[in-house]
Amino acid sequence: MPRVDRPIVLVGLMGVGKSTVGKRLATRLDLPFVDADHEIERAADMTIAEMFARYGESAFRDGERRVIARLIDGTPKVIATGGGAFMADATRALILQNAISVWLDADIDVLAERVGRRDDRPLLKDKDPRIVLRQLAAIRNPVYAQAKIHIHSKPQPHDHAVNAILDALRQ
């Protein structure tokens, strides 16, 4: 197993599998797993959808940055972030400086099929997931590309992505 000396932070579009892959990666590395979105909801005592509705995306992103800053404390762990976290300059700089950043990427059709299983994503509310995901990918993928490691997630078991991350960490 590769030796990890700081947090591993998973970034990428919604539906790419950051939480699922993150949990499995953490298990394989014998590290704690933290879902930043769950930590944000816990800190705010409301859901992300409620935060977006009540305070707007800008206030949500500010809270998200503060929670991620708290999670990136130098202790090795695996952290799954929300799809927009890496887009904020301050959050991205924090991740790039203090963690091993991993961009999980997938084709739009794969993402659309995965996000269609849930109805709790504020950015998709009453919209066609394929259109929204294409628009987000056009804006976000060049930024996600700044991550240290790039893994393309295919429509196969998430353990393939975990193995690819482990291989990249060994290099």
Query: Is 97 assigned to a binding site?
Result: no
Query: Is 22 assigned to a binding site?
Result: no
Query: Is 20 assigned to a binding site?
Result: yes
Query: Is 16 assigned to a binding site?
Result: yes
Query: Is 61 assigned to a binding site?
Result: yes
Query: Is 4 assigned to a binding site?
Result: no
Mapping DSSP onto H, E and C, the string for the chain reads CCCCCCCEEEECCCCCCHHHHHHHHHHHHCCCEEEHHHHHHHHHCCCHHHHHHHHCHHHHHHHHHHHHHHHCCCCCCEEECCCCHHHCHHHHHHHHHHCEEEEEECCHHHHHHHHCCCCCCHHHCCCCHHHHHHHHHHHHHHHHCCCCEEEECCCCCCHHHHHHHHHHHHC
Query: Is 140 assigned to a binding site?
Result: yes
Query: Is 66 assigned to a binding site?
Result: no
Query: Is 6 assigned to a binding site?
Result: no
Query: Is 83 assigned to a binding site?
Result: yes
Q: Which residues are annotated as a binding site?
A: 15-20, 37, 61, 83, 121, 140, 156
Q: Which residues are annotated as a binding site for ATP?
A: 15-20, 121, 156
Q: Which residues are annotated as a binding site for Mg(2+)?
A: 19
Q: Which residues are annotated as a binding site for substrate?
A: 37, 61, 83, 140
